[in-house]
Chains A and B, each alone.
Chain A
């Protein structure tokens, strides 16, 4: 057993630490750090810089830009990126559809999509959830019917994140309504959002923001060569994709930076005597959160160090559950620091206190998406505890 990193790992980490701070524009990192809204341009610019230096898709196969890193190196890359408040490469591209195409796509499909996906020349969105298929994704009802060398898609997707920024969608649709199991008749199709028959309608969220959408699909004609892998095997690809979604979901580094920010804000918040940071009740809340985060970071280290032999560590199941609870806890903390200054929604948008309520409300999503936390508990109960 050994807690410390090796000399080589430390050097690797320090190099990344310096790179992120040197190469990614400070104004972008500063906006990210203070939870200001990032523009599409911020995200594209960042990902292209990362990709130019081989740092956007290190976990992909080497021929498509991967780096063949150890799990520990990958962890350090991700952690340092968060600690430097670098907007992460677009997850729909790099963690979702990219690995699926690299793993299951035809050679032509790889050539056509992977370079553009890594460089964010194509912005992908995920067409999975439907009004009646949330946590129970396999009951989706969107259908795709083969018509010559096209598929014709009809149905409705919802909660589609950033569809308004997206160029293409990877979409699950039912291609065999008579399959014996509902999981068995699903396929994965790729199409541009400007295809006739696609209508995107933004959904306003409780924070006043527009990040998710309803997407209506009416007789959308998709060339058959934009089917991923094999017809009716879409559920396999979706499970593969969602497995990737889980690994970075704890966001320990990001929450760490926000706790640090909370301390900075608290130090600028005067009380009758001293500042909020001097208040023992507040300090105890910070100390406990720091400790919870450290415990989760150690869980993550156990998972990372243990994943070299390929077998998934069951303890990884708690990363999403606990990670999102702590992400929420720190956004709650920031509203509490802002106090009455958190009430105004409009006006000086540069004011962190005014944004804190929006962030807090927005982060209620984290325990719902990616498999709600209740689903995570059910997975722990059934697969780990045998209940």
Chain B
């Protein structure tokens, strides 16, 4: 039972924090997300240089060989400034998936380019009506001659509009779910990109007999997919912690500086008591984020742990996001002021990879299985 960071982990966190502080003011972010590609290529290169994009890729495949704790630290920093760079979606997740399921040749060819930021890959898994996220996909893979084709629809796909390559989950002819590499420029792929409410990008992808290459062998990758989802849920949770802590900081600053009736807002207990509740929410969520990432670091990719963490983080994100706006009053409603953007991102995170209701339903289905809920 040890919650201390190592010296290296502290250095990593501080480095990421200072890089982000150099690049991201609220104004710069607004300008970046308002123009294509929706993130800052210069920041992306810097991330590649300091090793963030290959953070969890093994050293022999061109990465840093770090683990879930480092991922948690980086994502929390990204969340703090709402950095739009698709570190998780276009580098860490596909990197982990290829490391896990890819052939040796694919790992050698692809992973160094992921780590260097030259090749952005997204994992297209979600489908309209696919709840929970681990349900069987309907996108279908078919063997035609000695090649594979994939048909179906993937939506929403985060950053699906800016990928150089796609990893698509599809049902295999003999059962199970396979993973396939598909080029977005293939004539069988239609990409309908859009902006999201949290200032990011997504896409609705349609596949009509798109040419597909199996990632590794064309065998069931259900376990790999389940584990990657748990990893992604933990990472998103950490990003939410960064966003929540910043939303709370903005709120307490505002309560201290904004005057009404001739006094700072912090003179009103009705506000300070609620700010204290926001802090309680944040620390409960932070504890669950630590739980999720530390469990992964112990080698346990447990969907129950992920559901527990994401449920609590979802509840806290909603509470803190709503209260942050309310306690700012009118200014919190404006696009020009940062606080509402945190609420928008927290809302998006809650509804990615299972929302609080989904996770509660899952946990409720298991309450009779145990006497005590144990860590």
Contact = CB atoms under 8 A, between A and B. Distances in A.
Interface string B206-231: 00000000000000000000000000
Contacts of B291: 3, 294, 298
Contact of A387 (B4, B272, B280): B272
A263 B275 contact: no
Q: What class of interface size applies to chain A in its complex with B? A: 35 or more
Contacts of B287: 295-296, 298-299, 301-302
A283 B365 contact: yes
Interface string B86-121: 000000000000000000000000000000000000
Contacts of A1: 2-5, 9, 69, 290, 294, 297
A3 B360 contact: no
Contact of B284 (A263, A299, A304, A378): A299
Interface string B1-12: 111110001000
A287 B290 CA distance: 20
Nearest to A302: B3
A364 B308 CA distance: 28
A321 B275 CA distance: 14
Decide if the interface of chain A is mainly helix, strand, loop or mixed: helix
Given A263-B368, A296-B284, A304-B1, A288 B360 contact: yes
Contact of B367 (A287, A298, A301, A306): A287
Nearest to A297: B375
Interface string A192-231: 0000000000000000000000000000000000000000
Contact of A295 (B295, B312, B366, B371): B312
A302 B275 contact: no
Given A291-B308, A298-B290, A299-B283, A267 B1 contact: no
A29 interface: no
Interface residues of B, number: 46
A374 B269 CA distance: 10
B288 A298 contact: yes
Contacts of B373: 256, 259, 290-291, 293-294
Contacts of A287: 360, 363-364, 366-367
Interface in B257-306: 266, 269, 272-273, 275-277, 279-280, 283-285, 287-288, 290-291, 294-295, 297-298
Contacts of A322: 280, 284
B256 A387 contact: yes
Contacts of A5: 1
B372 interface: yes
Contacts of A385: 248, 252, 272, 275-276, 279
Contacts of A295: 284-285, 287-288, 312
Interface of B: 1-5, 9, 69, 248, 252, 255-256, 266, 269, 272-273, 275-277, 279-280, 283-285, 287-288, 290-291, 294-295, 297-298, 308, 311-312, 360-361, 363-368, 371-373, 375
